[in-house]
Structure 1
């Protein structure tokens, strides 16, 4: 039963990556072109938008890889190990990096939102920032709980 649930979660991790890959391939270049068209006088606007969005995709995929590794540790009965703690720590840092990159890019998205009638870039940016912060806090809580469980487990092994 345990391997079926982790297999399901592994598929979920893979399916989380597919839409973001599609967005990176098809939508991000269009957003960059839009930014370049709206602000013709700012030559580097398109490049800044592309760099910000693609730079945020790198920690996203690294976090997905770490989540996949964490599920593999659970399959191998190594859930309560330092490897799991390090995977959660990496996920936390990736989420913080994503929120920081989008926070630094918010002035760009604000400029782009001025060129659109309903300013849709600003709320999407804030949703991504807030979601990343929630994921970082959740990973930090799980990391601390896992460290405490490992500590209790090692104390119990020593007393027996």
Structure 2
């Protein structure tokens, strides 16, 4: 396969990391400060915000790295190999980890909803865990399909 066929996707993977880095640098400290000001009786909230967002950024960037490696495997005609299956498996686990971290933050959204008397805030808090679980399920389905394709390919190679 030509090396340029996945160039757009590689560029998209790289560009996906830039806004998250900007959020981690500029928005997360502000969110921590605002949460501490809104709920002064819960002093630990600031550190919970820092933990959830910074800890979920690590698996996010690891998943982006695995996605980039997967695109490199496609360029090298190694898409139907065990290393591609392993990359998809790692992406799946990263998405589950991100979802888990943001589920830990749901009580924070509940406290904000109680403070502002806006129950819709809780649904906003469910966006990231839900999206991460969708990505995890999609990666799991791709992993299973790829593994079955590799198994069929190896059976056909043994038959001939």
User: TM-score when scaled to structure 2?
Assistant: 0.93
Shift of 1:91: 0.4
1:122 corresponds to: 122
2:111 corresponds to: 111
Residues 1:97 and 2:97 are matched in the alignment? yes
Q: Give the Cα separation in 1 of the matches to 2:12 and 2:124.
A: 23
Task: Report the aligned-residue RMSD.
Answer: 1.6
Shift of 1:3: 2.7
2:17 corresponds to: 17
Q: Deviations along 1:17-40, whole A, 9 cap, x unmatched?
A: 111111111111111101111111
Q: Give the Cα separation in 2 of the matches to 1:2 and 1:112.
A: 51
2:75 corresponds to: 75
Gaps of 5+ in 1: none
Residues 1:26 and 2:26 are matched in the alignment? yes
- Deviation beyond 3 Å, 4+ runs, structure 1: 113-121
Q: Give the Cα separation in 2 of the matches to 1:154 and 1:2.
A: 24
Q: Deviations along 1:65-104, whole A, 9 cap, x unmatched?
A: 0000000110111101110000000000011111111111
Residues 1:4 and 2:4 are matched in the alignment? yes
Shift of 1:117: 6.6
Shift of 1:119: 6.0
* CA gap 1:127/1:2 in 2 versus in 1, 3 angstroms: farther
Q: Give the Cα separation in 2 of the matches to 1:12 and 1:100.
A: 25
Q: Deviations along 1:106-133, whole A, 9 cap, x unmatched?
A: 0012213334475675333211111111
Q: Give the Cα separation in 1 of the matches to 2:22 and 2:120.
A: 20
* CA gap 1:68/1:158 in 2 versus in 1, 3 angstroms: same
Q: Give the Cα separation in 2 of the matches to 1:116 and 1:2.
A: 55
Corresponding pairs, count: 160
